[in-house]
Amino acid sequence: MVSDAAPPTFSIVVPSLNQGRFLESAIRSVLEQKYRGVELIVMDGGSTDETSAVIARYERQLTHWVSRPDRGPADALNRGCAMASGDIIGVLNADDFFLPGALDRVARAFIEHPAADVISGDGYFADADGALAVPAFSDRWNLRQFRYGACVLLQPATFFRRAAFERTGGFRETGRLCWDMELWADLARAGARFEHINSFLAAFRLHEASFTGRAELRRRRVEHARAVLEELRGRPESALDQCLTAFHRVWKFSHHPARTVQQRLYFHETLSRWWL
């Protein structure tokens, strides 16, 4: 465990809507961290599946929980983060899960990088049953590359200081599906400092019902991400921007061709699509 005299405290917010078959795994992955100073907040959007039974089983171990209709993930997360009292916030989608010792490693990183506002690590793609598959990596933060879609942070392996989050005004309730990407952009605009650690922290579950797995939602997320980047660049996407996007993505691929091909192959084998 972290031996610092005042280790950071964590607030883990779990948004969920009809993800009852995965929710218990997410909750247990937090409770089994065995880290002192962690609160768990479950924000359910009024699920009609087995979610209520899962919450009932773990109710005494949850710091807060809510089950009622919301206006989407950003609304649920803002309400959950408003309940948070921890120094560090982590968002864990109900179908994802932390790896053992993740919070301890993140706490050490924040202690070793006291000026950091955001810490990102790496993780794995996992199948619907939770079996770990190919590694999934966060990029080292580079704002220019982020502006052109070539800097990606693995969302469940990314944690941020509550004070930095509050400076952004919270998640933007735009209705976009890339609420995490919007937050990274807003944190960057607010002067947040990003750090990356070479540590596997979480698993991103890939299945047909997920945002990533459903083709129509994926197409909408791509459109929404383009809008976020246009806003960050301060102009509509131009032919030059398209060229720069291609350049940065090819540059990124040239540094990690094997792992990129491995990820795309897994995506195709899992969902019969090539996109990643």
pLDDT, one tens digit per residue, over 149-206 is 999 999 999 999 999 999 999 999 988 889 999 999 999 999 999 999 999 999 999 8
Please write the tens of the pLDDT for every residue from 214-246.
667 778 888 999 999 999 999 999 999 999 999
Domain, as residue range, for 205: 10-271
Please write the tens of the pLDDT for every residue from 72-95.
899 999 999 999 999 999 999 999
- Note whether residue 225 is domain-resident: yes
Is the pLDDT at 22 greater than 90? The verdict is yes
Give the domain CATH number at 205.
Answer: 3.90.550.10
Rounded to an integer, what distance in angstroms lies between the CA atom of residue 12 and that of residue 2?
18
- Note whether residue 144 is domain-resident: yes
- Note whether residue 4 is domain-resident: no
How many angstroms from the chain centroid is the CA of residue 78? 14
The token pair that represents 17 in the structure block: 């809507």
Residue 38, classed as helix, strand or coil, is: strand
CA angle (142, 80, 218) in 5-degree steps: 55
- Note whether residue 168 is domain-resident: yes
CA angle (156, 57, 82) in 5-degree steps: 45
Rounded to an integer, what distance in angstroms lies between the CA atom of residue 182 and that of residue 179?
5
Confidence of residue 276 (pLDDT cuts 50, 70, 90): very low
Burial class (CB in 10 A: 0-12, 13-18, 19+), 191: exposed
**Count of residues making up the chain:** 276
- Note whether residue 5 is domain-resident: no
What is the tally of structural domains in the chain? Answer: 1
